[in-house]
Structure 1
């Protein structure tokens, strides 16, 4: 009888262990987060012309974004918060040169969950170290822009830990330093350039 009771106790413990683990997992509030997506929009920051007559524009709101950070969502709550550090870049290449517009946005977005699948969100986006670099046949053009703060609005669809967000971002860039062929240039004539864009971003929390 003792052996039977011991066997039953061990079996019950093995059965209940996954359930307890699931309950503990469900009670988590903080999660790691990765994101990636494609964006488009904004002014033309620079361009490359090819010998076949075609042209590649670098957009202030383009083109690829990759990030990582955290998601905070109390269990059962209709709201969540994400914070990410991102790399956002638009690039054009040729045999005799290349052009890149890149920056490092920090994003903080709060969401309200309408149901199990839909969420709407808004937040702020602080863009650090935006730079335009162009090189063609050894000739260089470099523009450093001031850090800037923008606004993010997003509609998302998916499940708790994996979703896609359709977004609109409003932001502008103002030149800080401008060098052409290694010589400093005046930045007043450049004015502000629009980096506003739409995008589709995929998220996965773990």
Structure 2
């Protein structure tokens, strides 16, 4: 909790600076990591197989903005959707959530940048309805972000480490992950 407060305080302080410019931001990403739930799924032929859904992994997309405060510092904010799912036959199992990301980035030269921030994930849910085991809502979760990026004319290639833990009925699960992101600036 103390880490979250320190990161939020730093980001809030930096946001008080007047922005020189702003752009729209959109990204698509693939993440890997975190605890995995192994589930048995039945295909159309009636054969059972074991598949896994990752609490940290999956595909995501987000939309937001970037405010530029100096020539070397910017603040990116976005709201997105992230999901890892498995489908076999007509059954599917998925873990979904809505991340709100806030990242302050410092440019180190013309191309390279580093960033630190915070991610709050709303409505994390493990949906096992197709497997006959219902839907299970986890507590909202907050974690830290460390990010490096490479800037090009109108897009960025980002590598992000997110440290996230989820809670469900008193049990804690690891959602730490590493993602690769293609971010578009317009």
- Specify the alignment match of 1:41 in structure 2: 33
TM-score by length of 2: 0.82
Give 2:178's match in structure 1, choosing from 173, 189, 198: 198
Distance 1:46 1:85, change over 3 A: farther
Calculate the aligned-residue CA RMSD, in Å: 1.9
Give the number of equivalent residue pairs.
165
Flag structure 1 segments of 5+ consecutive residues without an equivalent.
1-26, 176-186
Shift of 1:57: 0.7
Q: Secondary structure at the match of 2:129?
A: strand
**Contact 1:117–1:160 (8 Å) recurs in 2:** no
Flag structure 2 segments of 5+ consecutive residues without an equivalent.
1-18
Q: More helix by proportion, 1 or 2?
A: 1
TM-score by length of 1: 0.74
**Higher Rg:** 1
The answer to whether the aligner puts 1:141 opposite 2:121 as a matched pair is no
- Specify the alignment match of 2:109 in structure 1: 115
* Matched ranges for 1:125-164 at <5 A: 125-136=119-130, 139-159=132-152, 161-164=154-157
Structure 1 residue ranges, 4+ long, deviating more than 6 angstroms after superposition: none
The answer to whether the aligner puts 1:72 opposite 2:67 as a matched pair is yes
For residues 78-115 of structure 1, the C-alpha deviation after alignment (integer angstroms, 9 at most, x for no partner) is 11110000101001112241111000000000001001
Q: Secondary structure at the match of 1:200?
A: strand
